[in-house]
Every structure is written in C-alpha cells, then in structure tokens.
Amino acid sequence: MAERDLIRAFERILRVRSERVLLASGDDAAVVRAGGVAVTSVDAIVEGVHFELDTHSPGDVGHKALAASLSDLAAMGAEPGEAYVVLGTPASFGESRAIELVEAMESLAERSGVTIAGGDVIAAPALTVSVTVVGWAGGERDLTYRQGAEPGHLVGVTGALGGSMAGLLLLRGADADLDEAERDALLLRHRRPEPQLAVGAALTEAVVGAMIDVSDGIAADAGHIAERSGVSVEVRLGELPLAAGVEAVARAAGRDPLELAASGGDDYELLFTAAPDRRETVESTARAAGVTVTWVGSVSAGAGVRLVGPDGRPVELSGYEHP
C-alpha cells in the first residue's frame, strides 16, 4: 500500500473534535484557531527501545505514544487540543497493523477530546511513533509548572504507583500468584496507561504549587521538581501508594516493592506540591475527579531529593535516575 493510500485510510478513521480546528488535513499544514497560550510537548517511542512487538499489540503502541504526550499536558493542567503524529513503519509491518495502531490512537483521542490534526507517514527500520500534542490555556497563570514548589509545601501523588513496572515484569515472565483481574489490571497499566488530564486540570484550578507526571519514576521526577524550584523534596517511601499486585510481583521477581514504586516509570500519575492550607481542597478536588491522592512527602529549603525508608532512615536507590 502506497503512503498516500495509507494516509487516506487514516483520514477516514480520524475525526475533528473542536471548532478550533479549521483545517486538519489535505493541505501543507493544519490550521487551528489560537488564543491564550499554546502548550506543546513532543514524545517518541521506538520498537526495541521503548516497547517490543511481541508484548505490545500495534494498538498498545499507538495508545502509549499518544498517552505519553498527553500526560505532559496533564502535568501542566492544560486543556488537551490537537495531536500531530509521525508514523514510521518497516515494510514488514503492513497496512492492517498500521490501521489498528491509528484506530487505538483515535480511540484515546476521542476519550480525551483531542483531534489528531496532522501527520506524516514514512518508511523506517523499526516501528517509530512520534507525537506532538498541543494543549491550550487562558494564560500562563492557568498552568502548573515544575518550578512552583516552596518550602513547607506538602508532596502528593495521584492514584497508585509501580503498576506499569509490575506489568512489565509480568510480561517478562515474573511468576506471581495473582488473580486474573489483578494481573490484567497490571498488564493494562503497562500497555495502555491513562493520562490524568481531568485531575491535572482540576488540581491546577485548586492552586497546586508544582506538578509533573510520573514518567521517570517518582524519585527522579521529584528530583526534577526540586531542581526547577530550587528546593529540597523529601519522599517517604513507606507511604507510597502501591498498585494492587505490585508487592506479589516484586516478590516473584526478587525486587523490592518500594523500589518498583519509587523508580518504576510510565505510571503517568501526577506528582505535585501544595501549601498545607490547600490540603483539603486538593483532596476534595481529586475526589470529585474520581481520583485518590496520597501525601508522601514535604518540601524544605535546600536542594535535591531525600528518600526516607519505612524505618525513617535515608535510602539510596541505585539507578533511580532514568538513563
């Protein structure tokens, strides 16, 4: 199938979801009515580096590429807008798998209110999906940055951690005694992570200090907040919310469950800081968005991340920095 025919097949799958989008395909560029501030992030995933096709379906790959980009918009509290996709496929990948990939992307776009408004289809030696997402906000003040953490802030995290890494360990053969529902949930968490767009926007409105998505692991991501805000962030590992089944998988794989929760990336939960007097507002805001929040640490003057073990002693996590 020629590139042009494949592009036409994609155009039949894709829908425009906003009056903002004036021209989505068929010309040299897409045209979108703009206003306020545009919030733009780029992410790419490559077969053999970020995923393997023997554990991820084409649909998983398409979902994950778009989800990773949308998670960056969630971490800014921006309203999701448009996505632009470069799909690089080896000749062996074939037309039906390419269509399955784009259909899964469109399905996530639909649930997120996103329009896939442009793209490029190229030949590549390994399956490569590169996604640019654009979100919108009224102004700079309607966003949450990594730099807003202040001494005295509490550190919170949405949802549960370690699930994506546990799912990966299951795919790699970890033999944990899980019931089927728990196992499926962990696999889904790894293969089809959900960007926390609604809670990111709600937390931004409830005046959070700093925010970031947990893509490198909470320890590394807390480090990004510490660096950009010029503060020290303490994370109490014993209080990290573990996804159901993470302990069993960690045991089966000979790993520490707290390490999975602290250094396992791709959970796509949101890590944030807030002044103590915002505590109840944050909790009720998250509850209204259908999400739990756990308080896992605090911000103080200084620099860097301090990880504290369940016994109250400092912990060094080897390799907690994403390469």
Q: Is 314 in the site for its own copies (CB under 8 A)?
A: no
Q: Is 289 in the site for its own copies (CB under 8 A)?
A: no
Question: Least Å distance between CB 230 and its own copies?
Answer: 12
CA–CA distances in Å: residue 135 to residues 25, 70, 81, 161, 177 = 19, 9, 5, 26, 42
**Per-residue tokens: 224:** 């990004």
**Per-residue tokens: 8:** 């036409």
Give the amino acid at 151.
P
Question: Least Å distance between CB 81 and its own copies?
Answer: 9
Q: Which is nearer to its own copies, 38 or 252 (CB)?
A: 38
Q: Is 158 in the site for its own copies (CB under 8 A)?
A: no
Q: Is 3 in the site for its own copies (CB under 8 A)?
A: yes
Neighbours of 22 (CB within 10 A): 12
Interactions with its own copies, residue window 12-51 (CB under 8 A)? 22-23, 26-46, 48-50
Q: Is 218 in the site for its own copies (CB under 8 A)?
A: no
Q: Radius of gyration of the chain from Cα atoms?
A: 20
Contact (Cβ atoms closer than 8 angstroms) between residue 264 and residue 169: no
Q: Is 143 in the site for its own copies (CB under 8 A)?
A: yes
> In degrees rounded to 5, what are phi and psi of residue 230?
65, 45
Question: Which of 310, 294, 299 shows the shortest CA–CA distance to 156?
Answer: 294
Question: Least Å distance between CB 40 and its own copies?
Answer: 5
Pick the stretch among 77-85, 164-172, 240-248, 285-293 that binds its own copies (CB under 8 A): 77-85
Please list, residue by residue across 180-214, b when 16 or more beta carbons sit within 10 angstroms of its beta carbon and e when fewer do: eebbebbbebbbbbbbbbebbbbbbebebbbbbbb
Q: Is 140 in the site for its own copies (CB under 8 A)?
A: yes
Contact (Cβ atoms closer than 8 angstroms) between residue 61 and residue 101: yes
Q: Is 228 in the site for its own copies (CB under 8 A)?
A: yes
Residue numbers at the binding site for its own copies (CB under 8 A): 2-3, 22-23, 26-46, 48-50, 72-73, 75-76, 78, 82, 84-86, 88, 117-120, 122-126, 128, 130, 132, 134-136, 140, 143, 145-147, 212-213, 228, 323
